[in-house]
A and B are shown apart, each in its own frame.
Chain A
Amino acid sequence: MFSFKLGLKNLTRQKRRNILIIFVIAFAFSSYLLMDSLMNGMEEMSFDNIKNYDTGNIQVAYPEYWEDRDELLLENLIYLNQDMEESIKNTDGVLGMSPELRFKANLNNGIDEVAVRGVGISIEQYNEVFATQNFVVEGSMFAPGESKAVIGTSLAELMDLKVNDYITLLVRTKEDTFNTIDIEIAGLVRAPNPMINNGIVFVPLDVAQEALNVDNMVSLFALKTVSGEEDRIIKRLVESFKNKDLDLKAYSWKESAASVIALSAAKKGGIGAVLSVVLLIGMLGIINNVILSALERTEEIGMMKALGMREWEIVFVFMVEATGIGVLGGLAGCLLGYAGVSWLAKYGFSIAYVGDASDFGVPILDRIYGTWNYPAFSFLFILGVIIAVLSSILPAYWAAHKDPVKAIYHR
């Protein structure tokens, strides 16, 4: 107990050096916590943005369509029928379903033309699944029965379009003949998912079906479900499709998040590397500190040996001191991290600094918000203390192993 007290009191020696190392540890620890928070925030937001504005939780389509879904072909479409829709809708855990007809189109504003993705939606059902309507910044979503379109702000800017302007969508029908959709813009959206803003034109489902000559057919259903339950709900859906002899399949949003998932795997590696560096900094700091202290206290160590202290008892005194530094550095790091993560969670981090994030396949518009990862705090703190204890042992033994005569008389 007395050794413990002595170890703690020794913390007050060389205050400047100890404060410096505590600060270094705190800085390293908090950097890790901030990075962890941002990375997780980015991942979470990306997933949310994919789910909430693009895929829903689950998509239902024919496997043949799903495989080539990026091609936006008008093949392997689903013929709508009430019974099928009912059965999907009534599946346990499904909160909403939105039939979508996706198609390739060229948008023409009378001067220029740009390739876009057309999406025919049934507006009421769409609103049950997606939150896009909350991000209409000008005009409004089209009303049911209204033959109007909604486009993203970036696209509008690019094509110099405003609400109430008319656009022409050049499309190819199922039979590969050209057709056009002439339609008025009802509203402009600026959703958190940049993909929505850059190149999508929403039109009423019936308008799209007519123009493409696909009578009452859709590409897929996007479903909103209880979140986290996707896998179980998919099982239920597949089961019911089997019973009804339907070839439909259900796909989790995760399958559309491959780029983000790949990124988050890289993220784990990155965080691991940062963690190693952070712990290495702590380790070197502690080792350095113990060695310097031991050199300064040579005569004291000699005196302790003369008093009959065993080596491990002297080591213990140094370990208590090192642990104290680890605890204080860890605490300060967690506090700094707490402040930083609070800030990041509230104000976010503008990714304008790193360029357009959608270039990296990250569907985030402008700010990444930090998330709270409380286990990271306790994990880091405990790990930090353990590292402090362990890295003090060797240099402390080196110190305690000194020949007492040499230590006392500085020979």
Chain B
Amino acid sequence: MTVERGEFTTIFGPSGSGKTTLLNMIGCLDTPSEGEVKLNGDEVSKLSQKQLAMVRRYNIGFIFQAYNLIPVLTAYENVEFAIRLIDHSKESQIKEKVLNILEAVGLIGLESRRPNELSGGEKQRVAIARALVKEPKLILADEPTANLDSENAAGVIDIMRKMNKELNTTFIFSTHDPMVMKYANRYINLKDGMISADERRG
């Protein structure tokens, strides 16, 4: 399969169908035992550990089901963490970027809260901001809404969709929630590790 730039792709499938495995291989965290993954036309399996880390650092943002925020850092700092890895500009510029992205995901006013002072939806929005702040070409989200109620899930998907449109960021996210997949403009269905359906919608 090929994912085009700016696509908002859902990977749908039951538990154990291989969604996480597929995302991890695209995200250079895992390597396929058969077949190949190409990013920007580069064959991923030919890259060294260091190069893979650099691909992830500069080009890919991850969003996890369990948020994976650092509990001792505030919402602001969790986002700052990601941008500091690639951007060594001045404090004020970093601050502007971080606050902008926090505003975009609707977290202004909550930036100095720690993860344990945020709701699940808010935490996931911090995680989205963390993935988006470095403006990567590709964002991979593994069941980002699985721990959220439908209202929060819709909010999170809305934000992802908005960012996708505004920044033309490519999104690939997995879900097994049929409600969520209606937002996608491309829909891939997995069954037992195989793609059983692949549709584009307008």
Contacts and interface: CB of A to CB of B under 8 A. Distances in A.
Contacts of A408: 29, 64, 68
B71 interface: yes
A305 B62 CA distance: 10
A13 B116 CA distance: 13
Given A308-B54, A308-B85, A303 B64 contact: yes
B191 interface: no
A246 interface: no
A184 interface: no
A310 B53 contact: yes
A235 interface: no
Interface string B68-86: 1011110000001110111
A405 B70 contact: no
Interface of A is mostly: helix
B56 A308 contact: yes
A409 B86 CA distance: 25
Contact of B72 (A2, A9, A305, A309): A9
B27 interface: yes
Interface residues of B, number: 27
Interface string A377-410: 0000000000000000000000000001100110
Contacts of A310: 50, 53
B87 to A, nearest CB: 11
A383 to B, nearest CB: 29
Interface residues of A, number: 21
B30 A307 contact: no
B32 to A, nearest CB: 12
B58 interface: yes
Contacts of A87: none
Contacts of B71: 13
Contacts of B146: none
Interface string B50-65: 1001111110101010
Contact of A404 (B29, B58, B70): B29
Contact of A308 (B30, B55, B68, B73): B55
B27 A306 contact: yes
A319 B44 CA distance: 31
Nearest to B25: A405
A405 B66 contact: no
Interface of A: 1-2, 6, 9-10, 12-13, 299-300, 302-303, 305-310, 404-405, 408-409
Interface of B: 20, 24, 27, 29-30, 50, 53-58, 60, 62, 64, 66, 68, 70-73, 80-82, 84-86
Identify the 6 closest CB pairs spanning chains A and B, nearest first.
A308-B57, A308-B56, A303-B68, A2-B84, A9-B72, A306-B62
11 contacts: A1-B84, A6-B70, A6-B81, A9-B73, A299-B68, A303-B62, A306-B29, A307-B81, A308-B53, A308-B57, A309-B85
